[in-house]
Chain A
């Protein structure tokens, strides 16, 4: 039975084409049935009258009924008169129902695509998207500042508890991982320095290098990148799913500004957390450098701290620290903007979370470059 589950045979009868369908015309065998139908459509040609005999059909479902109807329409389209005969009455309603579908009304024609036009329109969309991004970001920054102003005027609306909560999540709980990573990076920097500087007898300058590099750049950059990945993505996902489930709208209709309740605490928490973590992380990196220099390079801790005191100045330290809150603000703003742009689907949530992390890391680096130019020109 399995070999011949469906069949379709044809015979000419006095200029009339009779197609006999038999077997089980159901979706499980639709592949075979469709093959048979297109075979017949291809060769069965010029008859002016076609009848599709369905007396021997054992079982019919929507898919099978559609295939019969499609064949009928095909012959009709060629100018023949075509009909379906001999159908078991219990399948009549089904066929009638199917006859009313796929009539082509209300359907949308797929647009023809052209590679050149496509890539051009993609480029255009990117450019417009970039402009929109920038505008939205600036708008958002503006409304964040306005909200800060409003909170300053009415300090009792300030959500202290919420900030502490976010500070705990984004700041305090990031301490172990940031300390660990920066400790290792400090160690690696020192090891590399000692290894290469030794060749021209400049090992002692390793301390200068580690000190300056860590305090000015590495500490704040690594901390920001870690927080963009750890907290920025979490913010986007949280706000995004709140947006999807209309929780943000619910806040708004209850007369509460989402900016004040959801975004400001997160933003402020990051602005506070990044400098603190940068400080802790930089200390860990210096300590990592000290340990490596001691074990690998033979500097005692006393010599290391002595050299460090000579090598760095307050300005070296402040360069890193001044940058930190700006990094926090950028990460927070990007995360919140992206979170609020999430549309209904789960895919959109993933898309914006990715965008949030990528954009905030990119902006952190760009901002760092801008600061480098600034500090160089004021000779710090």
Chain B
């Protein structure tokens, strides 16, 4: 299989699948933990190049879905296709090649605490590519500056950074191989509204610059309004609605009404009208 080789080598195979085919396609996925089902036959499509906001109650399985797509949680049933390929059908090497094409930002950054920010960002480069030290340093600084951090942060350890800086540095690490998809797990949680707003703008800008597809688990209503192209809502183990924010606001579903028209959301909407 010639194209397997190219995949492993290049990491970015010009795909044969049609452009309008969903970049992530999840069908009938079941996940349960010790007999307690969390995802019950969930279906979801993510389109190429969009920012999908994924909402749902705390503990409702948002992170579980994200983690089962990236292979950290085992599903009991169902299929997950990424880049048009069923992840269950892939060999170890093919899967690794696919993994290089996505980046993940964990909720708390998950920067390696014993490495500096520069070493953290360079980690995927060092593991996957054979580059000169000079180029790796330059790429690390470039990524760092692209996520809006000054260059001197590179020599700091994660424990010396603030929460917002950690998230940005972790984003730089997840973007270092220029992935096609990034998974963000609550990227703005724990940030002040100004930083959170900047982070939303950053995601949007990077999406446009790098042509990213973004899968964002979030609770932040402002992110949903400003950054996301489309929103998928999870309740009771299934997707109850998908669509742009406007559709969500119009929906009659009780959970969606509570989510988007609750006290906190209402304050926001009123503020906007005024």
Q: Chain A interface (Cβ within 8 Å of chain B)?
A: 1-2, 5, 24, 26-31, 34, 59, 61-63, 66-67, 70, 90, 93-94, 97-98, 100-102, 104-108, 343-347
Contacts and interface: CB of A to CB of B under 8 A. Distances in A.
B135 A30 contact: yes
Interface string B207-247: 01111000000000000000000000000000000000000
Contacts of B209: 93-94, 97
Nearest to A30: B131
Contact of B12 (A28, A31, A90, A93): A28
A27 B9 contact: no
Interface string B160-177: 100000000000000101
B44 interface: no
B159 A2 contact: no
A108 B114 contact: no
Given A27-B129, A101-B146, A344 B152 contact: no
Contacts of A31: 129-132
B178 A27 contact: yes
B150 interface: yes
Contacts of B68: none
Interface stretch (B18-26, B136-144, B248-256): B136-144
Interface of B: 5-6, 9-12, 113-114, 125, 129-132, 135, 138-139, 141-146, 150-152, 154-155, 157-160, 175, 177-178, 208-211
Contacts of B151: 102, 104-108
B11 A28 contact: yes
A27 B125 CA distance: 9
B132 A106 contact: no
Given A101-B142, A102-B138, A102-B145, A94 B130 contact: no
A62 B6 CA distance: 20
Contacts of B12: 24, 26, 28, 59
Given A2-B6, A24-B10, A30-B131, A108 B155 contact: yes
Nearest to A351: B114
A98 B158 CA distance: 25
A195 to B, nearest CB: 50
A27 B152 contact: no
**Most chain B Cβ neighbours within 10 Å, of A90, A100, A104, A106:** A106
Main secondary structure of the interface of B (DSSP, over half): helix
B129 A26 contact: no
A102 B142 contact: yes
Contacts of B152: 106-108
Contact of A29 (B10, B141, B158, B178): B10
**Most chain B Cβ neighbours within 10 Å, of A29, A93, A100, A107:** A107
Contacts of A93: 208-209
Given A61-B210, A344-B159, A30 B129 contact: yes
A108 B153 CA distance: 9
Contacts of B131: 30-31, 34
B211 A347 contact: no
A341 B101 CA distance: 41
B103 to A, nearest CB: 12
Nearest to A98: B142
Contact of B211 (A26, A67, A90): A90
Contacts of A100: 145
Contact of B157 (A27, A59, A62, A345): A345
Contacts of B5: 2
Nearest to B111: A345
Given A107-B152, A108-B152, A343 B6 contact: no
A25 B157 CA distance: 31
A112 to B, nearest CB: 15
Nearest to A65: B142
A66 B138 contact: yes
Contacts of A28: 9-12, 129
A180 B211 CA distance: 66
Closest 5 CB pairs of A and B: A344-B159, A345-B113, A347-B114, A61-B178, A107-B151
A66 B12 CA distance: 18
A103 to B, nearest CB: 8
B157 A344 contact: yes
A5 B9 CA distance: 11
Nearest to A61: B178
B114 A346 contact: yes
B178 A62 contact: yes
Given A24-B10, A62-B142, A66-B138, 4 more contacts: A62-B139, A108-B152, A345-B158, A346-B114
A5 B14 CA distance: 13
Contacts of A104: 151
B124 to A, nearest CB: 9
B113 A347 contact: yes
A66 B139 contact: yes
A1 to B, nearest CB: 8
A97 B211 CA distance: 13
A359 to B, nearest CB: 22
